[in-house]
Structure 1
């Protein structure tokens, strides 16, 4: 039952994320809503999206960096769409889990009722 409640909350959160990144209902990705305007955090997919261009690091005297990413250049999908697709997959997984949790809860409840009838 606890898992079913968690799955319902997870679905609600992911619906919000989809609406946020697709800017539905007056929401804006640039609003700072997810970080409460406390940080300059941005989506991981903004730099690591499918097909994004990698820029070779410039030669320097400092420690060698791994590849520096150029956000938003040459990406196959804009990061907002990748976030929405990722959340949609999370919703599908949570719905399957919710259905299984409800089924298990009903089976356990029926078994407990059967013990009392004896």
Structure 2
């Protein structure tokens, strides 16, 4: 993929991360030490489903026009745009300019990582 159109748009610079200046005691007061994270019943359905397997619906009726897949348990959509290209939509974010559905699907894992990174940076202490 040497064509500029085939690559994801350049990632905007992330905000600098603030170094953690707390102590173990301060973390414990916030309830962070010993915190367990578990999937609830609905989460198990999403996360135990097939990840990163593209689906165009029953009998593939929308193949090449609209396809979806789970990335980190959340649905991503690859869809045609008004200009005849393709876009990716994930967790309220979108990127586009892909010439083919296959190129869009190939870029999907990196797009998912960038979206999750951006969302992580949006969470303040």
Question: TM-score, normalising length from structure 2?
Answer: 0.28
Q: Which has the higher strand share?
A: 2
Question: TM-score, normalising length from structure 1?
Answer: 0.30
Whose Rg is larger? Answer: 1
